[in-house]
A = this chain, B = another copy of it.
Amino acid sequence: MNLSTNNEIDIVRASSTKINDIDFDNLVFGNIFTDHMLICDFKDGKWQKPTIKPYEPFLLDPSAKVFHYGQAIFEGMKAYKDNNDDVWLFRPDENFDRFNKSAKRMAMPEVPEEVFLGGLHEILKIEKDWVKKGKGNTLYIRPFMIATGTGVVAAPSSQYRFMIILSPAKAYYSGEVKVIIAEHYSRAANGGIGAAKAAGNYSAQFYPTKLANEQGFQQIIWTDDATHTKLEEAGTMNVFFRINDTLFTAPSSERILDGVTRKSIIALAEKEGIDIQVRSVLVWELVEAAKNGTLKEIFGAGTAAVINPIVGFSYKDEYFELPKLEDSVALKLKDKLTNIQYKLEEDTFGWTVKI
């Protein structure tokens, strides 16, 4: 190993790279990691010096709070390579802000900008060869924080570990995405943690999603838990509905994650002169629009899935298929968005940040 140090980060280089063993054309989402990881521990009331070191398992006590109380948050970002071999991030400040909002809601310490964004720049410089050129190729970035303090008493930890791991990725979904609208289960409570990227929000969806999968649906569109009448979001995507030529998406709220892709789509749609309305769409409106033919598109939007057209939805055991369009707004917006991300079009919003 080759130890180097800059002032803010200790760096221990891996003695060899796995990169030549990877089949970059056939990646399954999220199961291969690059050679290095970033670790930064919080203890004695403060953040310690971060380290970048070879990716490897680490030791935790059986009573670590993350195991018992789920005190854990994460972010999901991507790095893109342009045709000049430069590596870019997309609105990283948004993920950094949201991470610290999640931290606050979960009673965890906020992570300093030098550690989150500074550390991310540093590890991406080291791992830049893992970002492949060409639309659709990305390096998925997973910053996360777990409670490492010990003790089986339901109270916040006093020790935490912040980490960044990186996974080369292509598409999140392969194949068509059909969804089912939630009638009984839900993902978030009023006054709960739905707006945080908290670990517990995701496993809470596994069982209902498994039931949906068994019926042939890839995802659930969640509704508000009190009445199940308002369409909210999907597992890891915000959701847009196009009725005639208007796009609708639910407002962000305590129950809904304030997605970066979602807010970028809203801005792009406005720029493109597409009519976009941020308001709750009711289930009956969707069903009615599907029945009378005014429902043109539904799509999910999120960093992992990018923009994902939905081919049909089920509600109360009735399945509604969406039309196959020549002029899909989803695909038009996806093109605009990815052109900015891959630097194929001018970024008039100032969203992209070079590594």
Contact = CB atoms under 8 A, between A and B. Distances in A.
Nearest to A185: B191
A293 interface: no
Interface stretch (A82-90, A153-161, A282-290): A153-161
B30 A144 contact: no
Given A30-B153, A62-B37, A152-B140, A203 B57 contact: no
Contact of A146 (B67, B74, B189): B67
B106 A206 contact: yes
A252 interface: no
Contacts of A155: 206, 209
A220 to B, nearest CB: 11
Interface residues of A, number: 73
B225 A153 contact: no
Count chain B CB atoms within 10 A of each CB in A65, A140, A152, A163 and give the residue with the most.
A152
A72 B74 contact: no
Count chain B CB atoms within 10 A of each CB in A33, A147, A186, A191 and give the residue with the most.
A191
Nearest to A222: B191
B192 A204 contact: yes
A102 to B, nearest CB: 11
A107 B207 contact: yes
A33 B57 contact: no
A349 interface: no
Interface in A175-192: 182, 184-192
A6 interface: no
Contact of A33 (B62, B182, B192, B226): B62
Nearest to A38: B62
Given A69-B202, A201-B200, A106 B207 contact: yes
Contact of A190 (B33, B163, B209, B226): B226
Interface in A316-341: none
Given A153-B29, A204-B200, A186 B182 contact: no
A142 B206 contact: no
Interface in A92-112: 104-107
A202 B69 CA distance: 5
A312 interface: no
Given A30-B152, A182-B191, A226-B190, A142 B68 contact: yes
Instruction: Identify the 10 closest CB pairs spanning chains A and B, nearest first.
Output: A200-B200, A70-B199, A189-B189, A226-B226, A107-B206, A70-B200, A30-B152, A70-B70, A71-B203, A69-B202
30 contacts: A30-B153, A31-B63, A31-B151, A37-B62, A57-B61, A58-B59, A58-B60, A58-B62, A59-B59, A60-B60, A66-B66, A66-B67, A66-B199, A67-B72, A67-B146, A69-B199, A72-B203, A106-B204, A107-B210, A147-B203, A152-B167, A153-B172, A154-B205, A154-B236, A187-B192, A188-B189, A189-B190, A191-B228, A192-B225, A200-B204
